[in-house]
Structure 1
Amino acid sequence: MEVAGKSISIIGAAKSGLSAARSLVRSGAKVFVSDIQPEDKLKASLERDGLLNKVDYEAGGHSEKVLHADFIVLSPGVRTDIPVLVEAAARNIPVYSEIEIAYRLSQGKRLVITGSNGKTTTTSLLALFCQQQFNEVFLGGNIGIPMMEFASQTTGNSLQVLEVSSFQLETISDFKPDIAVITNFFENHLDRYPSYKAYIEAKKRIALNMRSGETIVLNADQQMMREMAGELNCRAAWFGWNVGNLKPAMTIINDEFVYTDADDVKHKLFPAASVRIIGRHNLENVMCAALVAILAGVAEDCLESVVKEFPGVEHRLEWAREISGVTFINDSKGTNCAASITALQACNPP
């Protein structure tokens, strides 16, 4: 994708928007940043990122200036139905997510994880697995490291391990994973979507451009995923407690992780007791990450040492401290009811 000389508007000046602005300016684009925050705060953000004298900008809302662009980059927290984007659609001005632009500017293979719960744990663990096998592993996406931060650094040998949200998937067009994952579906973000079905449809866009050469990893324990697999144009692989005859697949049998390959050969990997992080849901996260790692080419004997050491990620069942016999656990990233219930079930009562 050639952006030099193009006029590009960026809506939203949080982490993803600013990352896109920096990268596009370096590539020679004429960038305009539009944000709803007060001008003093926006100027401070732009100055901090070395952009104040390199981009045009507006604060306090999105005016028609946004529309003077070859295309618009939309930050994930911004709804697609705001008036300026409705007008952009009427004028046939393309609107892309940051991950779409980063996809077009980057190289290598992409392992992409979405879902309602377990995304960050699965993505983080998968990156560690991949680092055992590959030299150029980039971790990013909705995990806090925008793809645009490293897109220009990737090569044909790179492996990108990416967490993406439904918001980011709303405005993709060419974006295509080599291996995609949907961890699970639970009701979430219904302040943004008109229905649970609409939320699921946004998640399913991860497979929009995937074909027979790509693989999507799905949760065998959710019937809707089994039904969804028949609607997709790519191959499916499975993880879960009840994989049955599905293959390739990852499950736990007699307290041991077992991978069944496409030829129906079972490979015993490592005991469930080797997993350091607690909870049945985290065993599912390990199943998922291990399956994707194997499909991506990571040697099976590289996995156990990683799960033995993996402590989990911040704000997710994270031990804080014990005071007067009371254990405090930080699960502040449990942002929906299903996640909080699952976390409580993972904790042993006193």
Structure 2
Amino acid sequence: MKELKNFPYSHILVLGLAKSGTAAARLLLQNEKHVRVNDKHTALDDPVVQELTAMGAEVITGSHPLEVLDGIDAIIKNPGITYDMPLLQEASSRGIPIMTEIELAGSLADTDIIGITGSNGKTTTTTLTAEMLQKGHQPVKAAGNIGYAASEAAQALEKDEKLVLELSSFQLLGINRFKPKIAVLLNIFEAHLDYHKTFENYKNAKSRIFINQTTDDYLVYNADNAVVAEAVMSAESVKIPFSLTKRLNEGAWADETSIYYKNEEIIAKRHIALAGDHNLENILAAICAAKLSGASNEAIADVLTTFAGVRHRLQFVTNLNNRLFYNDSKATNLLATQKALNAFTQPVILIAGGLDRGNEFDDLKPYLKNVKGMVLIGETQDKLARTAAEAGVDSIENVYTMADAVKQAYNLSKDNDVILLSPACASWDQYQTFAERGNMFIQAVHTLV
């Protein structure tokens, strides 16, 4: 069992169970820490609660009393819990450090960590990077905001095995000493303002990925994104840019025909399997991270000729009666849906809608030029219907279930049309996760078949 290093806390409150909290509690208990768990919604007879209790944890459920802070010298919190929660505000006033489970992963790992963040493209870039390393016979685990908890992956690392972490702004807000050997900052666009309150706060959270890096580390960044280019100026690490618009002496870049790393051609664009121009940025970033980790051009090109996308991110589902179905449930903001729509030139029936975070959808209008119909679900139905009408979309339908959405989209479609789930909204009004929403879409499509 790996031991926690540079983690000088003995009495820890794990706030919120779920995947990361459960992994953190287990790890802390295995390292002989005193652990108190507080979760509002999990019942005392839940199997996870019983397991942690048997391991020695004190578990308090049903509410968040301030007394759970007594005797505590650090908090590991669920990334989704906001810092304006009264319990966390009280913890801050007492000077108790508040961290996320990512900090534990950094304390455990005795190998290189590649950390990847950005408003969009994290999952694709993380998966691409891991597959490029694997293809080059370098052992690797991918975790964090993808797959399983970062600390769980770090605990299971074999000798010389690398760790590739997809990191959200919520996770990065809760780091103290954590630093990746290679940090990747894909892009920063306005997102999650219901959590971060201001764009400046959100940008600062993303920028924490390189805050602890030194001149011995690398920072891969998007030179075409003005916010990113400005943010990385303060970084001490070695900066490795990528760009779709200019030739670079360092980093990865593209021209009209090919992808390059420095002055080496990696692959011709026509051989790349991954659909959508927006994915070229993800490819460039993954190439940088893989090359810095020692991957060969041959291994990278091999992956790019076969990798067609990750589940729920512009995932091709099936061709039914010459209608192409795509699952882009992970498009939880406007930018992601804009990029998905840009990936197609043929007519699109768009299924969209979900949690209402208070924003409007006017910025979606220019991207609806090929959208012949919209089928709308969730809390944002009316807002999206107004946007669709103003954009001149021919057919606009409101439905209540994903099954009805798929049926209605099929009814509106003709030969060679694309039926695309790309919600532009989070899923939490109807589903626990974007993955559940995407799986419901896939199930509905196969029911049609």
Fold match (TM-score > 0.5): yes
Tell me which moved more, 84-93 or 146-155: 146-155
- 1:340 maps to what in 2? 337
Identity of aligned residues (%): 35
Amino acid at match of 1:197: E
1:178 aligns with one of 171, 177, 181: 181
Secondary structure of 1:112's aligned partner? strand
Q: In the aligned structure 2, how far is the partner of 1:291 from the partner of 1:247?
A: 13
CA deviations 1:134-190 (Å, max 9, x no partner) are: 543121111131111122233662311111010011111101111101111111101
Q: In the aligned structure 1, how far is the partner of 2:115 from the partner of 2:246?
A: 22
- 2:253 maps to what in 1? 251
Change beyond 3 A, Cα 1:37–1:133: same
Deviation at 1:118, TM superposition (A): 0.3
CA deviations 1:278-323 (Å, max 9, x no partner) are: 0001122111101110012111221111111212111111122333
1:149 aligns with one of 144, 148, 152: 152
Amino acid at match of 1:248: E
Matched, 1:30 2:34: yes
- 2:280 maps to what in 1? 283
- 1:323 maps to what in 2? 320
2:306 aligns with one of 309, 321, 328: 309
- 1:62 maps to what in 2? 64
Q: In the aligned structure 1, how far is the partner of 2:49 from the partner of 2:251?
A: 47
Deviation at 1:4, TM superposition (A): 10
- 1:199 maps to what in 2? 202
Secondary structure of 2:290's aligned partner? helix
Residue segments in structure 1 that go unaligned for 5+ positions in a row = 261-265
Q: 1 or 2 for the larger relative contact order (CA 8 Å, sep ≥6)?
A: 1
- 1:112 maps to what in 2? 115
2:216 aligns with one of 204, 213, 217: 213
Change beyond 3 A, Cα 1:147–1:321: same
Question: Is the contact made by 1:5 and 1:28 (CA closer than 8 Å) also made in structure 2?
Answer: no
Tell me which moved more, 299-308 or 116-125: 299-308
Q: Map 1:224-235 to 2 at 5 A.
A: 224-235=227-238
Secondary structure of 1:39's aligned partner? coil
Q: In the aligned structure 1, how far is the partner of 2:9 from the partner of 2:338?
A: 51
Q: In the aligned structure 2, how far is the partner of 1:198 from the partner of 1:278?
A: 33
Change beyond 3 A, Cα 1:84–1:247: farther
Q: In the aligned structure 2, how far is the partner of 1:241 from the partner of 1:233?
A: 25
- 1:298 maps to what in 2? 295
Secondary structure of 1:149's aligned partner? helix
Deviation at 1:5, TM superposition (A): 9.4
Give TM-score, length-normalised by structure 2.
0.72
Residue segments in structure 2 that go unaligned for 5+ positions in a row = 347-416, 418-449
Matched, 1:164 2:167: yes
- 1:129 maps to what in 2? 132
Question: Is the contact made by 1:275 and 1:283 (CA closer than 8 Å) also made in structure 2?
Answer: no
Secondary structure of 2:68's aligned partner? helix
Secondary structure of 1:53's aligned partner? helix
Question: Is the contact made by 1:106 and 1:152 (CA closer than 8 Å) also made in structure 2?
Answer: yes
Tell me which moved more, 115-124 or 308-317: 308-317
Deviation at 1:335, TM superposition (A): 0.5
Q: In the aligned structure 2, how far is the partner of 1:302 from the partner of 1:184?
A: 26
Deviation at 1:255, TM superposition (A): 1.2
Question: Is the contact made by 2:245 and 2:255 (CA closer than 8 Å) also made in structure 1?
Answer: no
Tell me which moved more, 20-29 or 322-331: 322-331
Secondary structure of 1:138's aligned partner? strand
Deviation at 1:6, TM superposition (A): 2.6
CA deviations 1:64-122 (Å, max 9, x no partner) are: 34313231111111112211112212222222110011211221001100000000000
Question: Is the contact made by 1:4 and 1:27 (CA closer than 8 Å) also made in structure 2?
Answer: no
CA deviations 1:209-267 (Å, max 9, x no partner) are: 112111111112112222223222222111121234x441211224111111xxxxx11
Q: In the aligned structure 1, how far is the partner of 2:28 from the partner of 2:137?
A: 28
Q: In the aligned structure 1, how far is the partner of 2:72 from the partner of 2:226?
A: 44
Q: Map 1:46-61 to 2 at 5 A.
A: 46-47=49-50, 50-54=51-55, 55-61=57-63
Change beyond 3 A, Cα 1:271–1:5: closer
Amino acid at match of 1:28: E
